[in-house]
Each structure stands twice: as C-alpha cells, then as structure tokens.
Structure 1
C-alpha cells in the first residue's frame, strides 16, 4: 500500500518535468523502493566522476606548469640563449643559398649557447647522481661539443681538423679562460692576492705534461724516421699510448673524488667534535633548479641539436676557409674551441669574481686535463673503430706550441696565488698563439685524407 502511494505521489512530479512523460510507472518501482540508498549511490558515483575529473584537470595543469617552469629555467634564464635562433637560420641558409661562409658563422653562433646549456644540464644532473657518477658525467659531457665535432670530422676523414680543434681547446682553456678568470678576479679583488689549492694545480700540470709526452713521442718518431715499420709503428704507438692515458685519467678521477670525499668527511668530523653547526650559504645556493628527469631530457635535446649543427659546421669548414681566406688551422685551433669553451669561459670568470678561485681553476685547467687525457685518446679510439688513421702525431709546430704553453702555465701556478697581472700575461700569450696559427700553413702529408690542406 505504501509502495503504491509512493508511486502515485512521484508520478505527477515526473509528468511535470516532461522528460519521462511517456514511460510506464512500473519502470520506476525498483527505484522508488529504496530512494535513500539510490540517492547515496548516485551521489557517490557523481563524487567519483568529479574527483577523477579534478585529478585529470589538476594533473594537466601541474604538467603544463612544470613544463613551462622547466623551459623558463633552461631556455629563458640566460641572455646567451638569444643566439639560439642562429642555429635554425644556419640550416635555412645552407638549404637555400649554400654559402659555406655564412653557414659556418651562423653555426658557430648557434652552438655557443647550446654548449653552455649542455654544461648547465650536466651540473644539474650531477646533484642527483652523487660525486662519482657526477664526475664521470662531467668528464663525458663537459667537453661534449668538442667530441661531437671531432666525431663528425673523423667521419668525413678530416683527422687534422680533429687534432687541431682538440689542441685548440686545450690552449684556449689554459691561456684564454684561465687568463680571463685571473684578470677579472684580480680586478674585483685588487687589494689582495687570490689563493688557490696549489696541490691540485700541480697534479693537473703533471697530467698535462704526461699528455705532452703522449703527443711528443709519435711526432719525434715520425720526424726522426726511426720507425720499425714506417707508417704503422707511429699509429700503433698512438693507440697504445691512448689506452694508457685513458687508464691514467680514470685513476686520477677516482683519486680526486676519493680525496674530496675524505676532506669532506674530515671537515664534518671536526664540526661535530666542536659541536658547532655551521650554516654555509654556498650549500644553500648550490641546489638543483630542475629535476633529475628534466636534466636527462634537456641533456638529450641539447646533445641532439649540437650534433645536427656540428654536421653542418664541419661540412662548411673548408668553404669558410676559402670564402674568408682564413687558414683551416686558425679556424680549428682558435674559432672552434671558443664555441666549445663558452660554458667554461663564463663559469670560470663568474667563480673568480666571487673569490672561488679553486673552482675557476678546476673549470679551466680541469677541462684542459679532460681534453688532453680523455678527449684526445677517445678520439683516437673512435677513429680506430671507424677505420680512420687518427694518431697522436700532432705535427712538430702544434706539439711544440702545446709543450711551451704547459710550461708557461705551470710556472704561473707554482706559487698558488693569482692577480690581474698574471691573467693579462696569459691572455697576451694566447694572442701570440692565435697570431702564430693565423700565419701557419698546415704542411701537406701523403697519408692525409683531408683535401685542401
């Protein structure tokens, strides 16, 4: 009876709504029996739909905000990134005009900010990987621009461009980058001499001398004509020496990381024994700005884009040399390393002006050590895998230049202090080197696979 009354009471309201006018009354019988339970189920289902919709909308907003923040941090936080559009412009110029001079110049401008951002992404990733893996990442990606250019040059058979560009990177870091850091730091702190860790500088200078040894013996063997098998002993010695240099560099890397960790633990023990809680502002400043996966993604994007532009850059080197009447040696030793060392240049100057000269020295001299003990041997090994006769015979003029540069820098570092005068002297030495390569013509070699040299 109550059931019928409920049905009769509901029917007029449904008829007034007009949406269910033609449906029989008995279709609503089961719903009318348990109205409260049905309402609860409907409310619960509506809440689930609303909650899922909210999560979907919120997740989409979080993703968009995270993407916007990441792009803003990586792309729009550095004024040097204003040069990024020159990369696509270089590709357009190559497609429509084929003017190698302009393509080379635009590629140089386009790669410069990418090299700096590649170093930034590597530093951000090192926050999450720890010191050991972070050191390996810095060794691998710190000079990735030079290595990518070298790989494309090896692919095209331009072994001399590879040798000269890697040599130029060492000279640029030791003379120009370190000189600018000493000069700017000395001008900012002109009332005192800045101090750095002399022990670390001596170790790096020793490794650089070892690299000079690795490059000197194949050249001496070639020019004294004392090879057991002419043309083969020199190449075999270069490959063997490259493997030894890689072993030495990996050992040095492990030694440095363990030494730094021991120093860090020792300092923490002293702080805990004294019961003093030191608040270091530098640690607060050195916090990651992007997440781990953002760093990996940006690292892949920058590396891929540098690879694309490097291919156009290498293809345009000979055309640019002819168009501007500039020796290939000058382009390889002076112009290419300036692009690859953009990140080191800016970082070294910035840290020197903050009186953090140990970091500046690690950036400049450490990068030279990476190229000489890691980049050059890896290029020899990669050329070996490609079937290219890439060796350590950098010719007499280039080897002598490197040897003298290492000696000069070692003398400047032996006191463990720096000032603006030392920085100015290093910059002037680099200008002499640049002028020397501008008037230097690469001697032709019968086994040189690069045309036009």
Structure 2
C-alpha cells in the first residue's frame, strides 16, 4: 500500500515539477511539490538499496545508497556554487554531517529500538568509522578555520586545496581497505542473516532504478534551489537555516528513508553504514570535491566553516562515537541523538 502511494506520488510529482517550472507556478507551491517529489523518489532509492544489499552485502549496499544519495547533494551544491551561494553550500555540508549523524541515525535507532529492545551492528566497522570521523570533521575541518586566522585569503584557499586532495585520497584508500584488502576480515555474525532472503529487484533493475531516481531527483533539486530565497523571506528563514536544515533534509531524503527501513527490519549493519558512511563520504569526498570544483567559478570556496557550524559537527561526531562504539543501540540512544538535532536546529534557526 505504501509503495503504491509513493509510486502515485512520483507519477504525479515529476510531471508537476516539470510543468510547474515551465509555467512558473507560485514559488511556495512548487517548493512543496519539489520536496514531496524528492521524498517519494527516495523511497525507490531505498527499495533499490535493500535489493542491492541482499545481493552484494551491507557494506556495498550502504555505500551505493550513500553515493547515489550524496550525488543529489553534490549536484545541488554545484548549482549553488555557480550562483555564488558559497555560504549556503558550506551550511548544507554542515547540515548533511549533523543530519546523518543525529537525524538519520537517531530515527533509525529510535524506530528500530521500538520494535527490538537491543539491536547489534558490526563493532569493528563502528570503531574504524570513528577514527575517520575524528580525522575528517575534527582535524581536517578545524585546521583551515584555525590557520585562516593567521593567513590571507589566498593562503587559506591553498591550504583548503591541499587538505581536500589529501582527504579524497584517504577516502579512496578507506574504501579499498574495507572492500578489498580487509573485506570479511572483521565480519559481524549478523551480516550473513540476509543471505536467505530474495531481493525485490534483481541487481540490474535495482541499479537502473537507483540511477533513474537519482537523475530525477537531481532535476527536481536543481529547481528547488531557486525557491530558497523566496521561501526564506516568506517564512523568515536565514540562508544558514535553509542550508543546514532544509537543504540537508531534502537532499538526503534517500538516506533517511533507506536507513529507517533497514533499522525497522533489524538490518542495523546497513542502517549504520548508510548514516555514518554517508557522513564520511560528505566530509571526505563531497566537501573536498566541491572545493576543487569551486575553482572553476568566480567565487572559490575555501574549506572554512563558521564556529557554530564547527561546534555542531564536532559535538555530533563525539556523541555518535560515544553511543555507537559498543556495537549496540536502543530506542533511548536514538532519542538522545534526535534531541541533540532539535537543539541544534533551534540554535541555527535563531541565528
């Protein structure tokens, strides 16, 4: 029944998005249409991810979901950079980090925990990801901000470019470590629990659905970007709030839906891989790539965040590490993450 509702939403929402953008329908109306269409499309991305996870395993399934989901974020950010909205892009990257660690993981832990008293996931992956989170967010994001206090804009941009290249190389090395040299070395006993299941879609169809849904989401998202200014004026939202909360939630709708579904089905290895893996991909690949891409536009983007953004990301990382390093979770830990997200959302709204 739910799948039929999402299918109808896509069949109605995508044509309405195209027609509305051509006919220049009211901005607020189109903002709602775009957001609902992206959420509906994300459900197909979630189903495709589940099918791939059954056939390829939780690591690759979660990685594919994060990659296709973050492709939307990357496309939105490139359009925003082209429009000179550097602050919005940095804010959306911040929103993706805290959104994945607090909102996506929090909802997954909470909803899964309502059904199962204890849910386990691969503790070795959790500890491996913890080290990368500390490197990517705490080290690589804080260094440019601190050093920029003693540098001019040119040196700050040069430092950002150097850090970006290093982060991309390390991210690719981390994938090689997890998927090639140490694949199966730190396998959790629960990781094989899905092998007897039949995937909803075969691998080829699932990848095709992921690709088509990503293209459709990219189209809708590109038009969504142009509604932000008027929507912000109408509701009294700042560019910071739009970037951190609105863009991040809509841009990462695919991860939200997929991770929650996986947690509800007690497939926590996939849920955690989506939430944390997507965060690492944003911090170690998407953000550095955007720094390099921004060199093609008049306004280059240094990897320098504001102190409220850095504080939000650092505290999110520490909280996630503290709650996930034991390889177990429950509904109360999920509620704790959600509470932290709401507190930060209120703070950024008041800014």
TM-score when normalising by structure 2? 0.87
Q: Which residues of 2 match residues 28-47 of structure 1 at below 5 A?
A: none
Provide the residue aligned with 1:381 in structure 2: 292
Provide the residue aligned with 2:82 in structure 1: 155
Provide the residue aligned with 1:83 in structure 2: 9
Provide the residue aligned with 2:161 in structure 1: 239
Provide the residue aligned with 2:127 in structure 1: 202
Which secondary structure does the structure 2 equivalent of 1:166 belong to?
helix
Partner residue of 2:147 out of 205, 214, 221: 221
Asked if structure 2 preserves the Cα contact closer than 8 Å seen for 1:101 and 1:324, the reply is no
Structure number with higher relative contact order (C-alpha < 8 Å, ≥ 6 residues apart): 2
CA deviations 1:243-263 (Å, max 9, x no partner) are 111111111111111323446
Which secondary structure does the structure 1 equivalent of 2:153 belong to?
coil
Partner residue of 1:177 out of 101, 104, 109: 104
Measured on the aligned residues, the alpha-carbon RMSD in Å equals 2.9
1:343 is aligned to 2:343: no
Asked if structure 1 preserves the Cα contact closer than 8 Å seen for 2:123 and 2:325, the reply is yes
1:125 and 1:301, CA in 2 relative to 1: closer, same or farther beyond 3 A? Answer: same
Provide the residue aligned with 2:197 in structure 1: 285
Runs (5+) with no aligned partner, structure 2: none
**Matches of 1:387 and 1:305, distance apart in 2:** 28
How far residue 101 of structure 1 moved from its aligned partner, in angstroms, is 2.4
Which secondary structure does the structure 2 equivalent of 1:283 belong to?
coil
Asked if structure 1 preserves the Cα contact closer than 8 Å seen for 2:63 and 2:277, the reply is no
Provide the residue aligned with 1:24 in structure 2: none
Provide the residue aligned with 1:7 in structure 2: none
CA deviations 1:53-101 (Å, max 9, x no partner) are xxxxxxxxxxxxxxxxxxxxxxx94533343223432443444455322
Which secondary structure does the structure 2 equivalent of 1:390 belong to?
coil
**Matches of 1:313 and 1:173, distance apart in 2:** 21
TM-score when normalising by structure 1? 0.69
CA deviations 1:163-194 (Å, max 9, x no partner) are 1112211111111111112112222123xx33
Number of aligned positions between the proteins: 346
1:339 and 1:83, CA in 2 relative to 1: closer, same or farther beyond 3 A? Answer: farther
**Matches of 1:209 and 1:353, distance apart in 2:** 28
How far residue 281 of structure 1 moved from its aligned partner, in angstroms, is 6.6
Which secondary structure does the structure 1 equivalent of 2:303 belong to?
coil
Which secondary structure does the structure 2 equivalent of 1:284 belong to?
coil
Runs (5+) with no aligned partner, structure 1: 1-75, 268-279, 441-453
Asked if structure 2 preserves the Cα contact closer than 8 Å seen for 1:115 and 1:343, the reply is yes
Worse-matched range after superposition: 198-207 or 244-253: 198-207
